[in-house]
Structure 1
Amino acid sequence: MTPPLATKYVFSLSIKVGAPIVAGDLGYGIRRVIPVLGGTVQGEGIKGTIHPGGADFQVIRPDGFTELEAKYTFELDDGAVVYIENIGVRFGPKEPLDCIARGEAVDPALIYFRSVPKFETGHPKYRWLMQNLFIGVGARHPDRVELAVHQIL
């Protein structure tokens, strides 16, 4: 018998983002690159700052389904630097998705936004981030992405 699946909230990321850079229609969707401008990391015993310089590489399919691939780093208050690669999807009804594409506010409850963040760090205190799986639950706002990270137990 396998153990039951459970999750535990670990921390939240508030990721400041810039204006989309649109590379155009690829034939199967529109490629956008969303610059990461900075932000914060906050959780029980975890606090830090997101470095500017990463990005979220997106393909928005014709039906609005969005493939997300974000890569950036954050630094915790004790000096640990963590790299994150976050692969995810975002989808919902056409009208709210159109609002997001125009940079407008949308009720996060209307949008399915989930991801699988993967972490890398050389800091021994946070090696557990590399030894577990996580799920992110996200919300897109005009100037930022909010992501609650949950550990799969």
Structure 2
Amino acid sequence: MLGSRWLVDSATTIAKALGVSDLLIGLTIVSLGTSLPELATSIMASIRGERDIAVGNVLGSNIFNILAVLGMAGMLTPSGVAVSEAAIQFNIPVAIAVSFACLPIFSSGNRIDRWEGFLFTFYYVAYTVYLILDAMNHESLPIYNTVMLGFVIPLTIITLVTVAVQQKKARQR
């Protein structure tokens, strides 16, 4: 609890000193820092062959964060939790899109293969780079958007089609 408090306070101080939005700091540094225990738990559980713990840890943590953490914060804060326009316009739709894109991958052979793990990690890095470029109002952001849309959307479609074909073949066996 104290470590989380220190992380949030320090990240907010850094954000204000650098003129970076609290949303960006929350979406990057704070989320990464508070997710490291889940990362370690899921990796160790996977290595030990405890797949339900590896997956349940991540899914349970995300469900808890969205429902309980935001719910309690809204319930206990007199004015409620304000949601920024940036979160509504970009980050929440990205979270929903990621959830839908993951459904076929999660159900294909009931495993996340190595190449899918690389793909997920690439998407996270690409998303984080976007957040940083956007926060800096960087001149390369339009080019990055074009490249990402020209690469990420087709890659996602190819991945989903590949997974669907694999599922169909597996059912026919």
Task: Specify the TM-score bucket, using the shorter chain as the normaliser.
Answer: under 0.3
> Relative contact order (alpha carbons < 8 A, sep ≥ 6): 1 or 2 greater?
1
Instruction: Name the structure with the higher helix share.
Output: 2
TM-score, length of structure 2 as denominator length = 0.23
TM-score, length of structure 1 as denominator length = 0.25
In our comparison, the structure showing a higher alpha carbon Rg is 2
